[in-house]
Chains A and B, each alone.
Chain A
């Protein structure tokens, strides 16, 4: 059953009325109501990956957030320098729940804030000399560090520092890979360019630099899983149970060596296509490694993905896959039987980064929930091409929606659940709208795989059906407005 196309069109128009003319014209291009036609032509009208309007409270971050915060930061045995002033490193310190085993500060540097803490003099005279000293000091302080990356913040690019030359020189002196990453926050329109820049740096400085002594027919890589709350571990266990050998895990709980040997795999399995498609495409061209996108959110998509993966291997793997599915299915059915009656027909609005706005749909649907609107912070055309066919007719699909738009839509559509990030979270708590943090699972997780779905289902039930929402005594004016809609 689809949603009311005309009504939702009108709804979006109403919401956009609040904008000044120029901004309204721009924002209109970022909304589309899903229709049969849109499902086949993909993104006929919807614009994406272009600049946000100034002053609108965009949820988007920057290139640095995409490179250091997403891609490089979770590589655990390298030290990542936040090169520039103090803030960027501080704000991205330990706030993305990239789980990694090891001892913090000894052989695991993920929850560290290592920075050059630029002062005015560094802006005036440049930070290159200081960067050299920093690199030497890092090897003194962290003798087990396998390498260093330099994550440039805005001023580094603006004052024209040559981090490439410094990295090259110091890589020789310190005899370890040192990777300059030009991810200054002003580059591009969102985190997305940061992912791309980070991928290019992996390609240019790390990939293919080490060998794998023994390779086998079942060697695969997990690409684009950041191990939020242990997601990559909950995924890896399934691949291994199926008989595959995961030789590299990027980049959650990942190591330098995994980046260096990944080219020896027979297949790249990519979860977050948005942030690492550049990499699998490169590896396909350069090393002939095929790749496929998989989705381990919710049992339906997980079965589908596992079977698709197995189909690329021999009968042994396919049999293992079926055995594994048969083994886990009763537990998954039990979860659905328990939670579906509690969540059926609940209306969900999603606005997440660049992948989960579509990848999680199956998991919600397994629980009987309806996605009525879905949007991305920093998706590209190809993301929308994949999204439209997954959605029901009439669904509102939106790009880079502003805080204002989301708030209006959530209220006017009377949704039962909003899934977005921490900046949005507390707004909906005020409104009395159940909310889940879908960037880092609200300090829960994992959500991937069979282990993850149990937690996902429990979390959604907890959120939607919590008695706390009934304690909110809504103001009379609000109740009246709702009644008139």
Chain B
């Protein structure tokens, strides 16, 4: 799988070459003696090409996959709405796992309840658990809406959410007008991004339908918003701040459909409130009147996008996560097209400043071979960013990449994008593969940098490649999610993270003869 390359070593590597080592050793007779370094290290079988072949031939076992299951995403979607309590119908352990997992990434609480189904519910169904659960959770946590999703247990036994909710209303446990949005999120279908999409679509369609309003695209300008914006399964609260900044610069009115940034970036005030921020429930039906919808995770949000274009009859501009300069340019063009507003000068000026930063840093990034892991939309953004600064994506692994948008599969788009630049010529896109595959790739065809979540750290460590933590989940570093990675400002943050990792590596690998103070 490895390709012939012309390796031009950096000074650390160059002066570590035998001839230079010998030169220095010879000189040692005039200096204090120094012991010879042991360098021979046999490559373990697991690091061989033979092993890689076997690794890529496995058919059934999945090792260190880069995806989670649907309900996790649906909890995130639910927390994007004002005073909404996520409710997981099924066995309670799942809910504990979702809450822990999300809390470990954001370092914030994740309020969510479960119907705590056990053996008897497996036999008789979970209706009474659901009804009791609604009564208890509404009494304790006083939500204004409950957003219900399922676990694989509830799905396998075939619990019918719609009729259960109806029965809860009939029994008077919840009032006729108390909103309970719901969606089915079997864990054996799709991944966390599918679950996000299912719940977002569930909430939008539910709140819209119950409002009795009729969609009137374009009329929103007088009564409310011009634009709807969706960020999707968004592990960066900083990205919400950044997109708001951009939209405000346009001076357009907008509604963020699903905004969990409040819940995952709440202040320490001496009081905990369960619900922070989120899209106002009343804004959802009004969103049907907007001029159009901007989606920033087109693969993640495909069901929601379809719902909006089909039911609200709006123009939907769907992009992947707008990373880098070109990605952000596309974002601004899309906003401009949807709103009819010109791109503001302030953003063009910001663009210039960030491009200036990229020109300053490019010597340290040019030709750096990079391995990438992430969700489909993040990867499209990252590939674009890497190539526009002269880095070369080499191994791209997407465990949940078997998704399409307008009948174009993620893999096809990623390959087309890579083919559009000479910097993409060495890349291979692996869809449905896992991080154990990535380990083989890193060991047999080495790269300079790995970009991905904390889960990539094991493979990166084995291959001795620095890991730049981008995506979800990031458990082992603090506050990464508070800094935007989208927009021009986000490009600057990504750049800083990457170039400074490269510079750290240069210093770390300092062979003792170069004391570069200036870079």
User: A: which residues have CB within 8 A of B?
Assistant: 18-20, 22-23, 51-65, 81, 84-88, 90-93, 95, 104-106, 111-120, 122-123, 130, 133-134, 137-138, 140-141, 143, 153-155, 157-159, 185-189, 191, 402-404, 407, 421-432, 472-475, 477-479
Contacts and interface: CB of A to CB of B under 8 A. Distances in A.
Contacts, number: 272
B15 interface: no
B133 A140 contact: no
Contacts of B140: 18-19, 55-57, 402, 404
Contacts of A19: 136, 139-140
Given A113-B64, A186-B119, A65 B91 contact: no
Given A105-B439, A473-B269, A20 B136 contact: yes
Given A61-B96, A91-B101, A154 B64 contact: no
A106 B44 contact: yes
A407 B111 CA distance: 13
Interface of B: 44-46, 54-55, 58-65, 67-69, 71-72, 87, 90-94, 96-101, 103-104, 107-119, 121-122, 129-130, 132-141, 151-153, 156-157, 186-189, 191, 266-273, 436, 439, 455, 458, 462, 475
B118 A90 contact: no
Contacts of B93: 60-65, 88, 185, 191
Contact of B62 (A54, A114, A423, A431): A114
21 contacts: A20-B136, A22-B135, A55-B132, A55-B140, A59-B96, A62-B93, A64-B93, A81-B61, A85-B186, A91-B98, A93-B64, A104-B462, A116-B60, A116-B62, A117-B62, A141-B61, A158-B156, A189-B118, A421-B100, A431-B271, A478-B269
B272 A430 contact: yes
Contact of B65 (A63, A90, A189, A423): A90
* Most interface-central of B87, B129, B139 (chain A CB within 10 A): B139
Given A104-B458, A137-B60, A423-B110, A52 B92 contact: yes
Contacts of A53: 116, 132-133, 136
Nearest to A60: B92
Given A133-B60, A158-B153, A91 B97 contact: yes
A84 B152 CA distance: 10
Given A54-B129, A87-B71, A87-B187, 20 more contacts: A51-B116, A52-B116, A54-B130, A54-B133, A57-B140, A58-B92, A61-B93, A61-B96, A116-B61, A133-B60, A137-B58, A141-B54, A154-B151, A155-B156, A189-B118, A423-B99, A423-B103, A429-B268, A473-B269, A478-B270
B276 to A, nearest CB: 9
A475 B268 CA distance: 10
A123 B130 CA distance: 24
A164 to B, nearest CB: 19
Most buried by A among B46, B60, B267: B60
Given A19-B140, A120-B189, A423-B96, A87 B68 contact: yes
Given A19-B136, A86-B65, A155-B153, A54 B269 contact: no
A90 B69 contact: yes
A189 B120 CA distance: 11
Nearest to B131: A54
Nearest to A115: B62
A57 B58 CA distance: 40
Contacts of B92: 52, 58, 60-62
A473 to B, nearest CB: 7
A153 B100 contact: no
Given A62-B94, A114-B63, A423-B99, A472 B270 contact: yes
Contacts of B130: 54
A134 B61 contact: yes
B100 A55 contact: no
A64 B271 CA distance: 34
A155 B63 CA distance: 20
Contacts of B61: 81, 114-116, 133-134, 137-138, 141
A233 B148 CA distance: 44
A154 B153 contact: yes
B90 to A, nearest CB: 8
B425 to A, nearest CB: 31
A50 to B, nearest CB: 10
B197 to A, nearest CB: 16
A18 B274 CA distance: 16
A20 B64 CA distance: 43
B362 to A, nearest CB: 36
B188 A186 contact: no
A119 B188 contact: yes
Given A19-B139, A86-B69, A92 B113 contact: no
A95 B100 contact: yes
Contacts of B268: 429-432, 472
B205 to A, nearest CB: 23
B111 A185 contact: no
Contacts of A22: 132, 135
A403 B110 CA distance: 11
A378 to B, nearest CB: 11
A23 B117 contact: no
Contacts of A159: 156
A-B CB proximity, top 5 nearest: A62-B93, A474-B270, A55-B133, A87-B69, A54-B133
A104 B156 CA distance: 35
A87 B116 CA distance: 17
A105 B114 CA distance: 35
B100 A422 contact: yes
A475 B271 contact: yes
Nearest to B69: A87
A19 B270 CA distance: 24
B100 A91 contact: yes
Contacts of B132: 22-23, 53-55
A140 B52 CA distance: 11
Nearest to B99: A423
A131 B312 CA distance: 46
B87 A55 contact: yes
A474 B68 contact: no
A59 B99 CA distance: 10
Contacts of B54: 140-141
A171 to B, nearest CB: 17
A424 B109 CA distance: 7
A87 B191 CA distance: 9
Nearest to A407: B272
A55 B60 contact: no
B171 to A, nearest CB: 12
A287 to B, nearest CB: 32
Given A90-B68, A95-B100, A185 B91 contact: yes
A123 B188 contact: yes
Contacts of A59: 96
A66 B393 CA distance: 41
B156 A54 contact: no
Nearest to B454: A94
Nearest to B439: A105
A154 B152 contact: yes
B271 A430 contact: yes
A423 B109 contact: yes
A93 to B, nearest CB: 7
Nearest to A121: B188
Nearest to A54: B133
Contacts of B59: 133, 137
A63 B97 CA distance: 12
Contacts of B108: 426
A254 to B, nearest CB: 21
B254 to A, nearest CB: 29
A58 B140 CA distance: 12
Contacts of B121: 186
Which residue among B65, B67, B188, B189 has the maximum number of chain A CB atoms within 10 Å of its CB? Answer: B188
Given A53-B132, A55-B137, A90-B69, A85 B187 contact: yes
Contacts of B91: 62, 154, 185-186
Contacts of A425: 103, 109
